[in-house]
């Protein structure tokens, strides 16, 4: 089982939505996904009409037991340090 870090630094809601869709997708083969949302990405999640879709992706990840946190560069560094694979979405 791999540990995959998905760092979401994107600010455009469409990009954030795609990053979260990718994060959900990355969980499909049994790997552990750790999502870190930068402040701007979190704000983008709350923008309409993206709010429901983002909320669903975040809820799915949590329901499946994956970590989703709102984090700063320190949280990003922690996620990266323990990851086998990393995707940084900008």
Residues that bind other proteins (CB under 8 A): 2, 4, 15, 18-19, 21-22, 24-31, 85-90
Closest approach of Cβ 69 to other proteins, in Å?
A: 18
Is the CB of 58 or the CB of 89 nearer to other proteins? Answer: 89
Closest approach of Cβ 64 to other proteins, in Å?
A: 12
DSSP assignment of the chain equals: --EEEEEE---SHHHHHHHHHHHHHHGGGS-EEEEEE-HHHHHHHTSTTTHHHHHHHHHHHHHTT-EEEE--HHHHHHHHHT-SEEEEE-
Closest approach of Cβ 1 to other proteins, in Å?
A: 9
């Amino acid at each position: 089982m791999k540990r995959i870090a998905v760092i979401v630094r994107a600010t455009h809601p469409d990009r954030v939505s795609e990053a979260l869709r990718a994060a959900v997708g990355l969980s499909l083969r049994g790997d552990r996904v750790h999502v870190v949302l930068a402040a701007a990405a979190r704000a983008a999640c709350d923008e309409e009409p993206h709010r429901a879709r983002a909320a669903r992706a975040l809820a799915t990840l949590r329901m499946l037991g994956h970590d989703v946190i709102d984090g700063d560069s320190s949280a990003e560094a922690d996620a990266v340090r323990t990851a086998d694979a990393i995707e940084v979405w900008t």
